[in-house]
Amino acid sequence: MTTLSHIIQGHYQSTPERTAIILQHAGREDKPIAYRTLVEGAYDYARAYQAAGIQSGEVIILILQHSEELIYSFWGAILHGAIPSIMPFLTEKLSPERYHADLAALIEIAKPAAIVTYLEFEEEIRGAIREGNSVRRVFVTSRVEKAGEPKFDQLTGLKCAPEDTALLQHSSGTTGLQKGVALSHQAILNHLDAYGKAIRLAPADDVVVSWLPLYHDMGLIAGFIMPILTNTMLVLSSPFDWVRAPYRLLQSVSRYKGTLTWLPNFAYNFCAHKLRDRDLEGVDLSSWRIITNTSEPVKWSSHQMFLDRFRAYGLKESTLQCSYGMAENVFAAVQTSPNYSLPIVDEIDREAYLGERIARPPIDGKPTIKMMSTGKAIPNTRICILDENGNMLPDRVIGEISLQSDYMLNEYYNRPDATEKAFKNGWYLSGDYGYMADGEVFVAGRKKDMIIVGGKNVYPQDLEAMAYEVNGIHPGRAVAFGVFDEETGTEDVVVVAEVDTEDAAERQKIADALRVHITKNSAVALRYAHLVGAKWILKTSSGKTARTANREKFMAEMGIS
């Protein structure tokens, strides 16, 4: 019988002094954490959970900043047999009202027995707990006592079965926190085996370097659980430190000979624009063998921008790879070639793509779109494209990306209605639109974000990409969405974009250029070109554009009901 608990116990007993994690904090010395230290820290929490009467199989919510305590409290729950779920903590970029509503919904649906937090946030947590709900205990990290040398015969997590739920992954967006993805020990281990083969993971040689938040599946699985369970060294920093000083990622890759990193698409643009030569003195990126672009639609232009910026520091073009996945499948469903050839770029006719939902070859003299493949299905995963009626579509016809695997979610925790709705004829419906060509998967965008104008389906990500081609608009700081017009009976297209200038005439010039560029290069006319200042656009806790929240903000400002 093998579970996450058994594997951690095995590392403690066989390689106790091997470094599991190098924990980084801005302004502090990097801190190596050996497996001995990791398990001893986790044991403190496991005993605290046990002493408080938390039972094996009960949910524990972790609301903690980047810290040792987050690591120990998570693995302590695993060793105790409880079900940990990491939730974002409140920051200045999240709406307090929405955050509190999401926390209340999470408590109502997931019914956690306990919440772990830090002293400064204790009052917020206690304020969210209502009389009669499931939370019996709030653990404050500074009050958890040392428990001494681990006694494994006292750990109920070692009695868990492979099919038992190991953890919950929750959405990191501004909505949907009530849908907890329940993953079993077996599903996680099956996935790590399949994905390890897809990327040719070599624990003795690979070094994972990550700043990704652990409340998102990419950070939790690829940048935390996978390296720790496979005995692969992990260099882990804070997402907030990365945003403030993105050069630290490249310095860490150089210092520790990092080989594997996962990044969302916006990070490629962000690094290419923000990093200065003075921050990269002495940096050597030649050890990087795979950087995987995932978690949002991947863009060829972003890869080219990143490569052009850092090629002089040893970055190889073959390092830039892609993936596509979701929490419901643990993490990845597809990955580009393990032979490290370049991801396939499919140049297609823009009009057919936007208007007919078909990926046709280019037509001379007509606008095109470059679509980048996210790869082929990893071992033990099947991918197909379905239409609205659940019928399989042929190559190059756009529909809903659907999948089957032996590491799917057990359920949406305490949500049988949502679980049933997510499957059709045995296929998991991803909620993403895309197409396939010769086994390669091309992702168009989220089904729920689709803008429908006069019967035409428009992908907002494509309009945003066009916006970044207009001089004066900040790359990565535009959002497109639709607003329904009662008079016309269809949606008007809106693009909100951040610019530096406050001069009215200059803004008007940029807005006019934006309208012309999108109208000329797409099948729609841009109704609203709304230019704003820095920090207007709202992001989710994982750095994605919060499309619904931005739409609501725009409508409130414009007085649209």
Residue 259 near residue 288, CB atoms below 8 Å: yes
- Name the pairing type of β-strands 376-377 and 368-372: unpaired
Token pair for residue 471? 């001089």
Q: How far apart are CA 463 and CA 525, in angstroms?
A: 11
Radius of gyration of the chain (CA): 24
Beta bridge partners, 531, equal: 497
Which of 3, 106, 114, 127 has its CA nearest to residue 60?
Answer: 114
Phi-psi region of 522 (alpha: psi -120 to 50; beta: other; left: phi over 0): beta
DSSP string, 325-361: E-GGGSSEEEE--TT-PPPPEEEEEHHIIIII-B-PP
DSSP 8-state code for residue 11: H
- Walk me through the domains of the chain, giving residue ranges and CATH numbers: 4-179 (3.40.50.12780), 349-448 (2.30.38.10), 450-558 (3.30.300.30)
Three-point CA angle 59, 63, 64, nearest 5° = 130
| 67: amino acid identity, one letter | S
CA-CA distance, 280 to 338, in Å (whole number)? Answer: 29
In the chain, what is the straight-line distance between the N-terminal and C-terminal CA atoms, in Å? 57
Type and span of the H or E element at 400 = strand 399-405
| Contact assessment for residue 82 and residue 57, using Cβ atoms and an 8 Å cutoff | yes
Q: Which of 343, 270, 332, 279 is nearest to 305 (CA)?
A: 270
Structure-block tokens of residue 11: 């590392």
The H-or-E segment that residue 182 falls in is strand 181-184
Residue 253 DSSP SS3: helix
The secondary structure of 203-261 as a DSSP string is TTT-EEEE---TTSHIIIIIIIIHHHHHT-EEEE--HHHHHH-THHHHHHHHHHT--EE
pLDDT string in tens for the chain (561-residue length): 699 999 999 999 999 999 999 999 999 999 999 999 999 999 999 999 999 999 999 999 999 999 999 999 999 999 999 999 999 887 766 667 777 777 888 888 899 999 999 999 998 888 888 888 899 999 999 999 999 999 999 999 999 999 999 999 975 443 444 689 999 999 999 999 999 999 999 999 999 999 999 998 999 999 999 999 999 999 999 999 998 999 999 999 999 999 999 998 888 988 998 899 999 999 999 999 999 998 777 888 889 999 999 999 999 999 999 999 999 999 999 999 766 678 999 999 988 887 788 999 999 988 888 899 999 999 999 999 999 899 999 999 999 999 999 999 999 999 999 899 999 999 999 989 999 999 999 998 877 777 877 656 677 888 888 899 899 998 888 999 988 776 666 678 899 999 988 888 999 999 999 999 988 777 678 888 999 998 899 877 656 778 888 888 998 888 886
**Nearest residue to 296 via CA among 69, 107, 461, 61:** 461
Residue 560: per-residue pLDDT:
81
pTM: 0.85
User: What pLDDT score was predicted for residue 170?
Assistant: 79
DSSP calls for 421-445:
HTEETTEEEEEEEEEEETTEEEEEE
Residue 28 CB neighbour total at 10 angstroms: 8
Count of residues for the chain? Answer: 561
Phi, psi at 264, each rounded to 5°: -75, 155
